[in-house]
């Protein structure tokens, strides 16, 4: 991801541009899977772009609050982060190897309306996660 692209997106969302924010945003846009804070940290380390863990947490909080990034608590412990393209994402996680795949399609938009009528809640968002065995682990 080019620095310039970042700057425009940041400006549009009134996020101050910093070296660290560009790097974190770059890592996320370059990844085709959601990443944990730890993974982002390691990727940056490997690129010799060391950065404090707490800085990564704070940067991600900003991105999430500006709706540039989606935070998902899929497993019990670590949260994963990914850039939001057009809409929100759902996930499949392999319960054998831990691989996480993001899904773009959302099958429950219609159901939400029925549920609003039924429960009288005003529904704002939802999370959907599937658990199973990925093609590789299925074979074993």
Partner DNA sequence: GTTGCAAATGCGAATAGTTTGCATTTGACA
Partner DNA sequence: TGTCAAATGCAAACTATTCGCATTTGCAAC
Q: Binding site for Zn(2+): what residues are annotated?
A: 94, 97, 134, 137
The C-alpha atoms of residue 62 and residue 74 are separated, in whole angstroms, by 20
Nearest CA to 88 out of 132, 39, 60, 124 is that of 124
Is 102 one of the binding residues for a copy of itself (CB under 8 A)? Answer: no
Can you say which residues are annotated as belonging to the binding site for Fe cation? 88, 126
Size of the site for a copy of itself (CB under 8 A): 33
Contact partner at residue 129 from a copy of itself, DNA, none, CB < 5 to 8 Å by partner kind: a copy of itself
CB of 70 closer than 8 Å to CB of 89: yes
The 8-class DSSP code of residue 45 comes to H
Residues at the site binding DNA, with contacts judged by CB under 7 A: 7, 15-21, 36-38, 50-55, 57-59, 61-62, 73, 76-79
């Amino acid at each position: 991801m080019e620095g310039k692209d970042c700057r425009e997106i940041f400006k549009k969302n009134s996020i101050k541009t910093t070296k660290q924010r560009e790097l974190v945003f770059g890592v996320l846009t370059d990844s085709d899977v959601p990443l944990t804070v730890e993974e982002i940290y390691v990727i940056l380390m490997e690129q010799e772009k060391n950065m404090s863990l707490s800085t990564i947490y704070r940067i991600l909080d900003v991105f999430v609050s500006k709706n540039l990034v989606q935070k998902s608590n899929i497993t019990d412990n670590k949260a994963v982060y990914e850039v939001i393209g057009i809409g929100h994402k759902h996930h499949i996680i392999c319960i054998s190897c831990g691989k996480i795949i993001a899904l773009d399609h959302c099958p429950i938009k219609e159901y939400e309306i029925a549920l609003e009528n039924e429960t009288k809640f005003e529904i704002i968002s939802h999370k959907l996660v599937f658990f199973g065995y990925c093609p590789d682990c299925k074979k074993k």
